[in-house]
Amino acid sequence: MVRKRIAVLYGGKADEHSISCISAAGVLAAMDDERFEAVLIGITKQGEWLTGCTDPRDFDFEQQALPVVSAGPGTSHVVLDMALGADGFFARDEHSGAEGQSALTSLGHIDAVLPILHGPYGEDGTVQGLLEMLGVPYVGCGVFASSACMDKHFTKILLKSAGIPVAPGITLDARPYAAADTFAANGDDFITKVRAAGLHYPLFVKPSRAGSSFGVTKVEREGDAAELAAAVREASRHDWKVLVEQGVDAREIECAVLAPRADRDILASWPGEIVLDRRESGNDQFYDFDSKYMDSDASHVQVPADLPGEMLDRVRETAIKAFKAVDGTGMSRVDTFVGADGSIVVNEINTIPGFTPISMYPKAWEATGISYGELITALIDGVLESA
């Protein structure tokens, strides 16, 4: 059997660079080597595309530092020739060729691309648009869905127009305050906006276009202008567009969606829940970066979530409805809030969800009857069959 050659993109310019590397390590370890040949392309934090760098499976995850893609001995820059499409992937050797020139070596025909990139410059439609122009099939949502779901502000607009409840909130433009760092001086103005919108505390202040809880702050002291201003400032470090959302008194229930082919039914996994194991002690009051990736004792995944069967089915139906509302394809993880009164609010949609072996997306499908390896095969086969 001739193996299909799959370019795996990992790393990237976003804050979630290292999480992408960890996800890629898990995906590569579970990929069917008899059917697929992985062509590894690492993207540095500066946006350089490299081949020949460290295989994610060889990262030492026991080290204190998170893995990072970097140039070094044996690495070459990747060059794309848009006119050649799937045959347009090349490695540039800076040390060969005529004087003052570099030689290009073909990376071979690429049958499909698997982007394991989280956050801006990977999950936001930019890479998807590049691959569309190149004419190479790729796994995951298209340009529109990727872009719309990366921006939580526009995700909420699309969901509301589809009749899907979302958390109350407002969007702030932080640019006028950032130039001279006047956030603290405008704390009372932020309070006024919150009150005008009728938002109740606690508040969650977050970047509109970021992930993995980067820049997210929980604001609990009502009317505390300094606390709110500091939260807006922290979020603005990641995006000038800042959301201030009313906290929802509910459990966060996540549902994995799978749609490898547009002409097949959209599937939803059993919904799962991230259980914060230190909540009762007063620590880790929300699912922050450390709880997700750094502290294995802070939380665990429970699938299916401890909810009545009828409620689990409603969450699955809501997840599929939300996926359709944003024109999703391939995969997504739909995060919801489920209230004690049975209400369901969609928090956000992740078009390239965390793919580490302990992440909710693969865990949810494993509990639903699809193993990690089968999941990756289904996603790749879907784009190959549709090409």
Contact 242, 232 (CB under 8 A): yes
| Cα separation, 119 vs 117, whole angstroms | 7
- Cis preceding-peptide flag for 308 (omega within 30 of 0): no
Strand-pair category, 4-11 with 112-116:
parallel
Asked whether residue 193 is marked as a ligand-binding residue, the answer is: no
Asked whether residue 147 is marked as a ligand-binding residue, the answer is: no
Asked whether residue 247 is marked as a ligand-binding residue, the answer is: yes
Contact 166, 348 (CB under 8 A): no
DSSP-assigned letter for residue 21: H
Asked whether residue 152 is marked as a ligand-binding residue, the answer is: yes
> Of 299, 1, 328, which Cα lies nearest the Cα of 149?
328
Asked whether residue 160 is marked as a ligand-binding residue, the answer is: no
Asked whether residue 310 is marked as a ligand-binding residue, the answer is: no
Asked whether residue 175 is marked as a ligand-binding residue, the answer is: no
Contact 122, 352 (CB under 8 A): yes
Task: Name the catalytic one among 18, 212, 236, 332.
Answer: 212
The CA–CA distances, whole Å, from 246 to 26, 108, 348 equal: 35, 51, 14
- 16 catalytic? Reply is yes
Task: Name the catalytic one among 147, 236, 291, 359.
Answer: 359
- 273 catalytic? Reply is no
Asked whether residue 350 is marked as a ligand-binding residue, the answer is: yes
- The pair of structure tokens assigned to 58 is 């060889």
Task: Name the catalytic one among 16, 123, 254, 366.
Answer: 16
Asked whether residue 64 is marked as a ligand-binding residue, the answer is: no
Asked whether residue 289 is marked as a ligand-binding residue, the answer is: no
Asked whether residue 251 is marked as a ligand-binding residue, the answer is: yes
Asked whether residue 291 is marked as a ligand-binding residue, the answer is: no
Q: Which residue's structure tokens are 């209400």?
A: 343
Contact 167, 335 (CB under 8 A): no
Asked whether residue 232 is marked as a ligand-binding residue, the answer is: no
Q: Say if residue 80 is exposed, middle or buried (CB neighbours under 10 Å; 0-12, 13-18, 19+).
A: middle
Q: Say if residue 1 is exposed, middle or buried (CB neighbours under 10 Å; 0-12, 13-18, 19+).
A: exposed
Asked whether residue 234 is marked as a ligand-binding residue, the answer is: no
| Strand, coil or helix: 275 | strand
Strand partners, 93: 103
| Cα separation, 318 vs 383, whole angstroms | 25
Asked whether residue 79 is marked as a ligand-binding residue, the answer is: no
Asked whether residue 340 is marked as a ligand-binding residue, the answer is: no
- 299 catalytic? Reply is no
Which residues sit in the known binding site?
Answer: 152, 204-206, 212-213, 245-252, 335, 347-348, 350
Which residues sit in the known binding site for Mg(2+)?
Answer: 335, 348, 350
Catalytic residues: 16, 212, 359
Which residues sit in the known binding site for ATP?
Answer: 152, 204-206, 212-213, 245-252, 347-348
